[in-house]
Chains A and B, each alone.
Chain A
């Protein structure tokens, strides 16, 4: 028997128990054991620090990577990266378990159907399979023959994909929703979009004084988490002159609600009513920003159009129809609370209202978004310090002719329709989130698609249905590019070199696309001439070096200095030639413009009236082209339809049978769709309970008592669409009548996979009454013990 620690303990235990060895003490055993403990091996090699970028969600935070002897052993935030300045969320902390995951797929594979076993293939063979199919289908001019779904929001690989599909000519490209679409659309309708593009919704939260959140899970799955978390810390910094207050409206006791300064529980689907109730206080107590409203807005007072017809103004609508007693009745929020928070909101500059919700599965209703932005306009926070704005969405772009790119759709409904149309090829790129949104029945239909391609780097929900696997690598193993992430106020471009070569045969998706283009049609070489991501990055940098603003990344001291210089009208370039620009951004990690947020409040708007429009004329024009039975264009009802207004979210049907309302949310661990396969993330669970490796449903204590349900019980959650089994998590101070459920859950594939009912199976998505797209997934349910 080898004498190692374990055997020794067994021996010693036996000896101490008997009398064979006299005088042997516990301490003696311990010391002997210590002497036998293996020496720590010699140090495994040189220690190095590198920088990289995270791609676990669309945030793309900057990383600082510690390497020892060619292995990565720790990941933290890059202190020079302006978005996160050294901090990262738990997803980035756990990146190592993605990189070194035992279920990484390290070579291409294929199979004839989803039930078959995978067979390893070579890259040329795997690419040829896809290229031949694409060549064959190219001549067939059938719609939706080739459907590509991508979870990558932005970036060069994404532009490359759009370019490839445009050159291919017969395909549909879908982006997975970010949750910001509706709010962004609403602000575009009211305040217009920047000239170049549709713009990007951004908040200057760092400089906000009072933040009113309409159900956004600000501290979990919202925007760019590490940035928001950093700003939250700054709001509460006692060295700062003033503490920024956060007021959270909403039915669910989220972590964001619990960590806000004030949680105002409100009924489901009443965002617009709350916002208009607050607007009522601002207007009737004369607390709104008169200068901005009188000089820079349209549709506040009653007005007459060119045809001489009188229209309802926002002020009249609010004063007549959103009296506080009615708002209290609709929302459940007491009048005193509305008055108090409205006064706080209007107490000075830097007030911003965010929401509603802005989560990928529940982007919110258009009219609710209009109401929230109307509040921002009332306090003069559109395009102002501490407020909200649509900023130009400039990022890395392909070196020439950006028009040769296929426009991506973000509509989940269109995507579902495209999947129903029995496409011949479906490509899933970083698309694990899609499987949180599709029901089991919808997923099973994917089996009918002859060729399903996934780019997953490890076994995940997408590999279950795929028949061809072209494995991508993690961002740590390739050149990676980043740009201003969701909601971030400043212009920013970043880049990082591979920290490690790709593990096994895995290959960066961008380079797979380049090879695929050449294999599909050699003529595409003129559009896609690059062979490696590095070539493409260097080519793109040439254009960027020409811009005459902004700085290379530096410390926060550099940032303060640069702001000071700019305030005095100075700009000193950090580079002189494209070559130097490239070398500098590759070394420092990127370029940004810390003064790109409007310093002076926006006074003119690219809208038909040139002002911010409480009555969005572009929306009216669009509505005129849609059928609206029962509403005449000349009636006051028409104005009410265009103006921000409250309407019931859910039809009253089934309210007797299903007495609870289910609200869903995205926990930070699974934000962006991935993360289910990562053990450390699965162990995080919710800080409100302890449910590892499986999902749960949250109930208020009052409802649980009434239903006889205890914490940890298995329960059925049943809606008109079906029922699923979940563990109950009872929360003492949650609002009665509301049941909440996180997205994500047990991994679908891989060694730690377990079968779990899909949340999507019981959700009844609510269509937006104006846009027709999914705006919420609040569902009437009942909960009972298994």
Chain B
């Protein structure tokens, strides 16, 4: 059984946010108009977060593409009273939208703030619904949603492999964000396969995990920028 994970090389990331839009399009993530969006209720399964450090002329800004980190020990799963979120044997923290009762315990429990609540029903003014991905269900008002690592793509790839009676090949399953990245800053695959690119990169001396001390064991691993990157010489 694979253990799916992702490595994001912050040295290659350009903060272009192609991954943000790729994810929204792939997963039918609703958008908000000018008024509602001012309330901070817009939903991003993947968001590029800026982390300013220090003041001019000594400071720098880091950019962190932040999807759900698919923790091996996910705090959100533990608090769900209805098993609407759980972890699959291959390590994907799933969200079963139709089970969610909207209690939002999970949004509070997630230390990475990667869960969003649907304050509004999705609106796709005609003909925008034409672009909806038929592989992903549209969430109603009142449920929590989050990154599923494009789980539907795994199901599809697996079905194809099974139909052809062969194992799933590396690269056959890739989430939309990884596929879109123009600077190839993201690598995806089986962390348990020591020969996979993702496992090799995860062993890099530059590798780190977010808030590791919480014991959440995220499967999204970051590679730090080079020492010099983003330095200022004032």
Give residues in A with beta carbon < 8 Å to B: 5-6, 9, 26-27, 29-31, 33-34, 37, 40-41, 43-44, 68-69, 71-77, 84, 86-90, 92-94, 96-97, 99-102, 219-220, 225-226, 229-230, 232-233, 236-238, 243, 245, 253, 255, 258-265, 333-334, 337, 503, 668, 679-684, 687-690, 692-694, 700-702, 731-736, 746, 751-752, 754
Q: A6-B141, A9-B142 are in contact. Are A101 and B128 (CB under 8 A)?
A: yes
**8 Å CB interface, B10-28 against A:** 11-18, 20-22, 24-26
Seed contacts A102-B125, A237-B12; 18 additional CB < 8 Å A-B pairs: A34-B99, A37-B97, A44-B134, A84-B182, A88-B180, A99-B131, A100-B128, A100-B129, A102-B128, A229-B18, A232-B12, A259-B14, A262-B228, A265-B234, A503-B127, A692-B34, A702-B56, A733-B58
Instruction: Determine which of B22, B60, B204 lies in contact with A733 in the assembled complex, contact meaning CB atoms within 8 Å.
Output: B60
Q: How far is the CA of A27 from the CA of B96 in the complex (A)?
A: 13
Interface flag for B57 (CB, 8 Å): yes
Q: Which 6 A-B residue pairs are closest in the complex by CB-CB distance?
A: A87-B182, A733-B59, A233-B183, A37-B98, A30-B82, A93-B21
Stretch in B42-50, B67-75, B109-117 with 4+ CB within 8 Å of A: B42-50
Q: How far is the CA of A96 from the CA of B59 in the complex (A)?
A: 39
Q: How far is the CB of B50 from chain A (nearest CB, A)?
A: 5
A679 touches B17 (CB 8 A): no
Interface flag for B155 (CB, 8 Å): no
* In the complex, residue of chain B having the shortest beta-carbon distance to the beta carbon of A47: B134
A692 touches B42 (CB 8 A): yes
Interface flag for B179 (CB, 8 Å): yes
- 18 A-B residue pairs with CB within 8 Å: A5-B140, A84-B182, A94-B21, A238-B204, A258-B15, A261-B228, A334-B234, A680-B21, A684-B21, A687-B17, A689-B50, A692-B34, A692-B37, A692-B42, A693-B37, A701-B56, A734-B56, A754-B34
Instruction: Determine which of B37, B99, B130 lies in contact with A100 in the assembled complex, contact meaning CB atoms within 8 Å.
Output: B130
Q: How far is the CA of A733 from the CA of B58 in the complex (A)?
A: 8
Q: How far is the CA of A30 from the CA of B228 in the complex (A)?
A: 51
B31 touches A680 (CB 8 A): yes
Residues on the B chain within 8 Å of A37, using CB? 97-98
Q: How far is the CB of B180 from chain A (nearest CB, A)?
A: 6
Interface flag for B78 (CB, 8 Å): no
Residue among A334, A684, A731 with the highest chain B CB neighbour number at 10 A: A684
A259 touches B231 (CB 8 A): no
A668 touches B125 (CB 8 A): no
Give residues in B with beta carbon < 8 Å to A: 9, 11-18, 20-22, 24-26, 31-34, 37-38, 40, 42, 44, 48-50, 52-61, 63, 81-84, 96-101, 103, 125-134, 137, 140-142, 176, 179-185, 204, 226, 228-234
Residues on the A chain within 8 Å of B14, using CB? 219, 229, 232-233, 255, 259
B230 touches A260 (CB 8 A): yes
B229 touches A259 (CB 8 A): yes
A74 touches B133 (CB 8 A): yes
Q: How far is the CA of A751 from the CA of B124 in the complex (A)?
A: 13
Residues on the A chain within 8 Å of B125, using CB? 102, 751
B182 touches A226 (CB 8 A): yes
* Majority secondary structure, B binding face: loop
B99 touches A33 (CB 8 A): yes
* In the complex, residue of chain B having the shortest beta-carbon distance to the beta carbon of A45: B134
A263 touches B184 (CB 8 A): no
Instruction: Determine which of B55, B99, B133 lies in contact with A73 in the assembled complex, contact meaning CB atoms within 8 Å.
Output: B133
Q: How far is the CA of A689 from the CA of B61 in the complex (A)?
A: 12
A261 touches B229 (CB 8 A): yes
Residues on the B chain within 8 Å of A688, using CB? 50, 52, 61
B25 touches A96 (CB 8 A): yes
A733 touches B101 (CB 8 A): no
Q: How far is the CA of A41 from the CA of B54 in the complex (A)?
A: 52
Q: How far is the CA of A500 from the CA of B16 in the complex (A)?
A: 28
Instruction: Determine which of B25, B132, B133 lies in contact with A94 in the assembled complex, contact meaning CB atoms within 8 Å.
Output: B25
Residues on the A chain within 8 Å of B142, using CB? 6, 9
B229 touches A733 (CB 8 A): no
Residues on the A chain within 8 Å of B26, using CB? 74
Q: How far is the CA of A253 from the CA of B134 in the complex (A)?
A: 41
A700 touches B182 (CB 8 A): no
Instruction: Determine which of B50, B52, B81, B182 lies in contact with A233 in the assembled complex, contact meaning CB atoms within 8 Å.
Output: B182
Q: A73-B132, A75-B25, A693-B37 are in contact. Are A87 and B18 (CB under 8 A)?
A: yes
A232 touches B132 (CB 8 A): no
Q: How far is the CA of A731 from the CA of B18 in the complex (A)?
A: 23
Residues on the B chain within 8 Å of A333, using CB? 233
Q: How far is the CA of A752 from the CA of B84 in the complex (A)?
A: 35
B140 touches A6 (CB 8 A): yes
Residues on the B chain within 8 Å of A71, using CB? 130-131
B18 touches A683 (CB 8 A): no
Instruction: Determine which of B37, B54, B182 lies in contact with A229 in the assembled complex, contact meaning CB atoms within 8 Å.
Output: B182
Instruction: Determine which of A84, A97, A261 lies in contact with B128 in the assembled complex, contact meaning CB atoms within 8 Å.
Output: A97
Residues on the B chain within 8 Å of A679, using CB? 31-33
A102 touches B127 (CB 8 A): yes
A88 touches B18 (CB 8 A): yes
Q: A263-B230, A693-B33 are in contact. Are A93 and B98 (CB under 8 A)?
A: no
Q: How far is the CA of A183 from the CA of B170 in the complex (A)?
A: 46
A230 touches B61 (CB 8 A): no
B83 touches A265 (CB 8 A): no
Residues on the B chain within 8 Å of A734, using CB? 56
B226 touches A261 (CB 8 A): yes
A87 touches B181 (CB 8 A): yes
Q: A102-B126, A690-B40, A733-B56 are in contact. Are A258 and B63 (CB under 8 A)?
A: yes
* In the complex, residue of chain A having the shortest beta-carbon distance to the beta carbon of B101: A30
* In the complex, residue of chain A having the shortest beta-carbon distance to the beta carbon of B231: A262
Q: How far is the CA of A225 from the CA of B17 in the complex (A)?
A: 12
* In the complex, residue of chain A having the shortest beta-carbon distance to the beta carbon of B232: A263
Residues on the A chain within 8 Å of B176, using CB? 74
B34 touches A694 (CB 8 A): yes
Q: How far is the CA of A220 from the CA of B176 in the complex (A)?
A: 22
Q: How far is the CA of A84 from the CA of B57 in the complex (A)?
A: 35
Q: How far is the CA of A573 from the CA of B188 in the complex (A)?
A: 38
* In the complex, residue of chain B having the shortest beta-carbon distance to the beta carbon of A42: B134
Q: How far is the CB of B22 from chain A (nearest CB, A)?
A: 5
